[in-house]
Structure 1
Amino acid sequence: NRIQIKITYTLEFLSAFHLGTGLPNGLIDRAIARNKDGYLYVPGSTIKGVVRHRCEQLAKLYGLEANEPHTEESQRREANIRDPDIITRIFGSRFLPATLYFDDATMLEEDRAAYFDGSKPDDGIYKAKQIEERTQVSLSRRTRTAKSGRLYTSEYGIKSLRFKGQVYGIIDGLALEDEPEYNYSLLLLVAGLKSIDRIGGNKSSGAGQVTCTINDPVLVNGNSVNQRYLLELAPENLEYYKLAREMQA
């Protein structure tokens, strides 16, 4: 059962966060990702990875087959494109291209406006308010002590910033028995997206705490659906998924 969906959501950071570029920027050793206009954003690839991880955790919670990527066993099972597991149905694999797309999440307009400094937005001064700089020291995993001469400076986005993104495309999965206009893959995706609580680097030190709000309506084959309704459908139906899959085999 293949259905076309469009989900919009809002991320709100509850703590400072680091979504790095992997490159330095002047005196900054670990720069944060910015778009072409200089605003912070959350890369779609990062969101996809986090949502996939949460969906894998939920699938295992419900006793569903969920292959972890990059293992020999997962590669063998991914090749079985006739009967892929629910994670592969949502996110695709090397053998089964994904048909869902995760856009970059961009800063809300009202949050962007909060960083304008006077009447000269082009001077770039206001954009510095999006970030804070932290100087840290590298630690030795072996001795658990600071490494000599290993200070580095990182950029962090400030807490309370909000970003809006969307997931859209075709999602494949087994249809619900009582409501065939929806499928199990959609329910797991919505539950996984809603459960996001951390994004980015330095999570062990408290960075990247976030909440995800799914905005109404969710579009399913062009029809509007309340996100709360889909979230309520998820627990009882995902418990039934394994049996439903065996019955439809």
Structure 2
Amino acid sequence: MVQLSSLTQNTVSIQLTALIDSALCVGAGGSSGSLADKPIVRNARGQLLIPGSQLKGRLRHECEKLARALQWPICESPVPQTMCPQVGLYSSDFQREAYRVQNKQFANGRPQHHCLICQIFGNPSLASRIEVDDLVCQVEPDNLPEVLRPGVTLNRRRRTAADQRLYFLETSPVNVQLPFSGHLHLEPNCPPQTKPLILAALHHIHALGGSKSAGLGWLTWQPFNQTLVDENWRSLLEGKAS
């Protein structure tokens, strides 16, 4: 589900609901209380969740691809030396009004220029302008059995299974359409391209968690308001990053 609502006068919240079409595997390193070598991450109430940091990282990756497709100049993350504002010092493509950040200057007084992706998701010198909540499973943990999925480490050189390398992953139950819900909050000073860019990026996220190539973590965002998405995507295409 994608539902827009105002939290305050100038802040917008996007409600997200993902239906997990297959088993979900989001590992919690260092966790105990399970027979699995890689237990699934839970909150303090024992509810399954998808960390907001993981979703935010995927959103940034997809927004970067869309920005490149729209021929908007963006920096090269995640290396700080190739990110804004340093890249704006020697690239004339970044010297545009839409990339200039108010109240951000270098020591010599020159204004800082940050690409739209950095203005939305942040970088080492600029705070993020969006906040992503954890997506929490809406089914009570008492109603979800522990599911262990066996696996084995492969010896790439011998192209066979490695000796004594059996392991177990904990996953959510298979094919039960578990709903995971949370919110994405847009701060008042977000660029105008933020909302349509994020809604478009969500269409490109089809799986989250680990072992996606093995069929885990596949999801559907439900239900999309297609009219809302189409209108925002059209405004994004018509918008000018100049």
Could you tell me which amino acid in structure 1 is paired with residue 75 of structure 2?
N
User: Out of 71, 92, 99, which is 2:129 matched to?
Assistant: 99
With over 3 angstroms needed to count, the CA separation of the structure-2 counterparts of 1:51 and 1:230, relative to structure 1, is same
Alignment of structure 1 residues 90-169 onto 2, 5 Å: 90-108=120-138, 111-112=139-140, 116=142, 126-127=143-144, 129=145, 131-158=146-173, 159=175, 160-169=177-186
How do 1:190-209 and structure 2 match up within 5 A?
Answer: 190-209=199-218
RMSD: 2.5
Inter-CA distance 137–104: structure 2 relative to 1 (3 Å threshold): same
2:51 aligned with 1:43: yes
Q: 2:24 aligns with which of 7, 17, 30?
A: 17
Secondary structure of 1:237's aligned partner: helix
Q: 2:129, 2:190 within 8 Å by CA — same for their partners in 1?
A: no
Which among 229, 233, 236 is matched to residue 234 of structure 2?
236
5+ unaligned residues in a row in structure 1: which ranges? 117-125, 175-182, 216-226
User: What is the one-letter code of the residue matched to 1:147?
Assistant: A
Q: CA deviation at 1:143?
A: 3.4
Cα separation, 1, equivalents of 2:199 and 2:220: 14
Q: Using the alignment, how far apart are the partners of 1:84 and 1:213 within structure 2?
A: 33
Select which of 60, 66, 89 maps to 2:119. 89
1:211-246 CA-partner distances (Å, limit 9, x unpaired): 12367xxxxxxxxxxx544411344333344xx222
Give 1:101 shift: 0.9
TM-score normalized by the length of structure 1: 0.74
Work out the percentage of aligned pairs sharing the same amino acid. Answer: 29
CA deviation vs aligned residue, 1:192-217 (integer Å, no higher than 9, x gap) = 134321100001111110112367xx
Structure 1 segments of 4+ aligned residues over 6 angstroms from their partners: none
Residue 121 of structure 2 contacts residue 128 of structure 2 at CA under 8 Å; is this kept in 1? Answer: yes
Structure 1 counterpart SS, 2:205: coil
What's the offset of the Cα at 1:67? Answer: 3.0
What displacement does 1:24 show? 5.1
The verdict on how the C-alpha distance between 1:172 and 1:77 changes in structure 2, with shifts beyond 3 A counting, is farther
2:87 to 77, 80, 105: 77
Partner SS state of residue 155, structure 1: strand
- Asked whether the equivalents of residues 6 and 167 of structure 1 are also in contact (C-alpha less than 8 Å), the reply is yes
Residue 181 of structure 2 aligns to a residue in which SS? Answer: strand
Q: Which residue of 54, 58, 83 corresponds with 2:66?
A: 58
Instruction: Report the residue type matching 1:164 in the other structure.
Output: S
Q: Which runs of 5+ in 2 are unaligned?
A: 1-9, 90-99, 102-111
Q: What residue is the counterpart of 2:12 in the other structure?
A: 5
SS of match in other structure, 2:236: helix
1:245 maps to 2:221? no
CA-CA distance at 1:7 after TM superposition:
0.5
The structural deviation recorded for 1:22 is 1.9
CA distance in 1, matches of 2:88, 2:46: 39
